[in-house]
Amino acid sequence: MACLNPDDSFSSFKKEKFVTLTQLYPLNFSETCILVLENQLDTYIFDMKSSVHFFGLNGVGYLAMKLVETKKNFIYHLVYRLIKLVLALPITTASVERSFSTMKIVKTRLRNKIGDQWLNDCLVTYIEKEIFQTIPNDSILKRFQTMKSRRC
């Protein structure tokens, strides 16, 4: 991720790290895309270093916004795709870690034998509790009252 940082006129830019990063996402970057990206990176870094618009940016997020603002996200579409993946990576990692932490709380020794669907439902309601607190109790009661019995 550090190779995308625009600080100090893209001083941390390393083409090899870009290519290595794309190989971690084989569903998003085919072999052909990687070859095109290697050619695109040479032009990209020259353009970024010589453009006044990209001087003094602090962080990858601002780089992505400036690429969209200057419409260079269409010119360097593969670089922009990689930037979007890198920006989403910390969020997805944190979400997974949060889910596993929640699983430790919800799946206690007493609830160790609950089914997968019930565990999933418990986890969703616990993780997204801010959303579920906005739902009035009356609507939940009506929902359960209108449900048919599943037992024969």
pLDDT tens digits, residue range 29-70?
Answer: 888 888 888 888 888 888 887 888 877 777 778 888 888 888
Q: Would you give the distance in Å from CA 24 to the centre of its chain?
A: 14
Sign of the torsion formed by the C-alpha atoms of 123, 126, 132 and 137: positive
Measure the N-to-C terminal CA separation of the chain; round to a whole number of Å: 56
The whole-number pLDDT of residue 103 equals 67
The whole-number pLDDT of residue 33 equals 85
- DSSP class of residue 107 equals S
Which amino acid is located at 43 in the chain? T
